Every structure is written in C-alpha cells, then in structure tokens.
Structure 1
Amino acid sequence: MTDPKFPKLLDYEALKQQFGEEESATTTQNNPKETDNPSFKAEDGLFADPVKETKPGLKGTRLRSYAFAVLTRKEFSKAELIEKLALYAEDRNEVITLVDELSRENYQSDQRVAEMMLSSQMRKGKGPNQIKMKLKNKKVDHQLIQDELKETDWVQQAYELKVKKYGTDVATDQKLKAKQIRFLMYRGFEMDAIMKAIKRKSDTDFD
C-alpha cells in the first residue's frame, strides 16, 4: 500500500477515532487494567502521562495521524512540534523528516505562529520585547520575529495603553512620568517608543 498524500482538509474526528481506537486496542492487550484510561485525549491532543506509560513508539501512518491531530488543535512552531512528536515516536529522524514535510506543505508554519502570537499579545497590551521573548522561547527564527515586529506602530500601541491607564493628559509631574515609564517598560515597550507615547498630546500628535 502506497503512502497516502496529506489531505488538504483534515477530518479531526475521523483521525481521533481511528487513532484512538487503535491505541485503545493496543492498550487493552498490553494493560487490561488501563482500559478505562485511554492514552489519547481528544480535548488537548496529548497522550496521558507519558512518564507513567510505556512510550508508544509511533511510526509511519500512526505518527502522521498523531501529528495531524496535534496540529488540528493548536499551532506549533517547527521546533516545538519536533519535540512534541519525538516524545511518542520510535525514531526522532522520522519525526524531523515528517515535520519538514508538514512545513513544506504549510500544515505547520512558523509564520502563522508568529502572526498569532503577535496578535494575541498585542490584544493583551504587551510590547515588542515581551513578544520577542515569547517567540524566541518557541525557537522561531530571529529574522522572522524581526519582520513581524517591524510591521507594528509600537509608539501608537504604547500611547493607547498609556491613555487607557492614565488618560490623555501629558504628565508634568516627574513622579507620574516615572510611573508611566515603569508601567510601559514592564509591558515590554522600548524606551524610545515610551518617551514618544507619554509626551504625545493627542492621538494625532506624532511629534
């Protein structure tokens, strides 16, 4: 039987059913007492307690099915996905080859990971330094991080956050200025953007 191509539209329920039933059957044979504790959790795509259970040693279509199930639930960076799959795979080299293919076919994308992280963190009022750190932790390429961050007006982001917290008035009191600076630095903004933001008199003042 030839190796099937990646489907363009993923049927997560079908994958879950196929994968879960196979895993359940294996578990039943090897550990009859664990039949009420299936190793595949649909809610988060993770195997239950890998420390306590025997490493499944997935390979071939079973490894591929698990990779699809994982990606259907959440976006992972390339480095994260390799480490996640390697926990349950028989051969790490097969994992690397599979993830390379997933990346080429755009099922996995560091670009999407960076875009989603940028969007979600901006909604939380986080500045570029915090976002950069989070993406580095995911081992996203440095240049990709820089490209994503430079598309945003961080002075505007800092100004909107300052207005939300302290209002539109420009602080003249040094203690209040220092307080605003510390607040924006804690949120991850750079000093240049902070100073421009706290000095801005209105949303249309870009000096």
Structure 2
Amino acid sequence: MSDAPKAPGTRKGLGFQPSLKGRALRLLSQREHSRAELERKLAPHEETPGELAKALDELQARDFINDGRAIESVVHRRASKLGAARVRQELAAKGLSGEAVAQAMEGLRDTELSRAQEVWRKKFGQPPADAHERARQMRFLITRGFAAEVVRRVVQGCDDE
C-alpha cells in the first residue's frame, strides 16, 4: 500500500465525476457518435430523469452531435473493407436510419464490385484452385457483407478489369 496522502473523498468509486456533457464531449473527441449511441452509453450515468436529454440537446444545438457526420465517418472508415450490407448493419447498430443512410448505401452499391475486387486481391490474389478454395473465398467475401452476385463475379473472374 502506498503511504502517499489521499485527498478526502477519493476512495475508489468516489471523487471527481465528469458531467454528462463532459462525458459526451470526451466520447465525441474520440470519434463521431450518433445521438442514440450517446444515449445508450451515457444512460447509466444519468442521475436525474431528463438530465441526459437536456445535455444532448445542447450538444446537438451546437452541432457537436451530427448524425450526418456519424454516417460519413462510418462509411469512410469501413467501406474499403466491407460490403454495403455490413456497413448498413453497423449504421443500424449505431441507431442511424433514414434518408441519409439510404443515400450512403446507394453510393456504396455503385462501387461494390471494385471494393470487393480490392478486398479479394489483398486477401487471396489468385483464382481458387478447386471447389473447396472457391467456397472459402466466397464465404470470406459474403461475411464481409458483399452481395452474392458481386462475390460470384469476383471469385469466378467474370469482371472486366
């Protein structure tokens, strides 16, 4: 045990506790979060009903919370490695939906073949030698969220490079 003097009230679990707004700002400084995500993460720290909603309303009014930016962030970070279905799943898990998500998904579907080819090239680089290897490559791309038709085209080499 340490002999260093402790400040009063700094036992484990006590001491300085940041406000809900402070906690939200700390989370937002790390990456973009949707309002629904912040509500889920900060709900256990709410002491009085309505306090969390008020803090998030203030942050949203100042544009610290912006669901459009959260969508762009997820798409930018994940689209190079995942198909449209997986990106949509991640956006839904963050509580995002609506017109902005639909537009983002439309843009991803337009580039799905080229993104799948790049993921396949990095992982495998050569056509499958047998049916077992073909199934393995197809499973890999399907689990990444690429559409079945796109996966078939990439693995069978029906694409026009």
What TM-score bracket applies, with the shorter chain setting the length? 0.7 to 0.9
Going from structure 1 to structure 2, the CA distance change for 1:100 and 1:33 (only over 3 Å counts) comes to closer
Aligned counterpart in structure 1 of residue 91 of structure 2, from 120, 126, 135: 135
**What is the identity, as a one-letter code, of the residue corresponding to 1:126?**
L
CA drift of 1:168 comes to 5.2
Going from structure 1 to structure 2, the CA distance change for 1:122 and 1:38 (only over 3 Å counts) comes to farther
Q: Which runs of 5+ in 2 are unaligned?
A: 1-6
Aligned identity (percent) is 24
Partner of 1:74: 31
Q: Does 1:106 align with 2:83?
A: no
Q: Whole-Å Cα distance in 2 between the matches of residues 187 and 36 of structure 1?
A: 41
Q: Whole-Å Cα distance in 1 between the matches of residues 24 and 79 of structure 2?
A: 29
Q: Whole-Å Cα distance in 1 between the matches of residues 143 and 82 of structure 2?
A: 9
Q: Does 1:161 align with 2:119?
A: yes
- Alignment map for 1:58-207 (pairs within 5 Å): 62-123=19-80, 125-152=81-108, 153-167=111-125, 169=127, 173-200=130-157, 205=160
How many pairs align?
Answer: 153
Q: Whole-Å Cα distance in 1 between the matches of residues 91 and 59 of structure 2?
A: 20
CA drift of 1:145 comes to 2.6
Q: Whole-Å Cα distance in 1 between the matches of residues 13 and 97 of structure 2?
A: 42
**Residues 152-200 of structure 1: per-residue CA shift (max 9 Å, x gap):** 211111111122233254x584444323211211222110221222244
Task: Give every structure 1 segment of 4 or more consecutive aligned residues whose post-TM-superposition deviation is greater than 6 Å.
Answer: none
Q: Whole-Å Cα distance in 2 between the matches of residues 86 and 36 of structure 1?
A: 18
SS in 1 for 2:82: coil
Note if contact 2:21-2:56 (Cα within 8 Å) is conserved in structure 1.
no
Note if contact 1:126-1:188 (Cα within 8 Å) is conserved in structure 2.
yes
Note if contact 1:78-1:108 (Cα within 8 Å) is conserved in structure 2.
yes
Normalising by structure 1, report the TM-score: 0.60
SS in 1 for 2:79: helix
CA drift of 1:94 comes to 3.1
Q: Which runs of 5+ in 1 are unaligned?
A: 1-26, 41-46, 48-61
Q: Whole-Å Cα distance in 2 between the matches of residues 180 and 35 of structure 1?
A: 50
Going from structure 1 to structure 2, the CA distance change for 1:64 and 1:173 (only over 3 Å counts) comes to closer
Deviates more, 1:103-112 or 1:173-182: 173-182
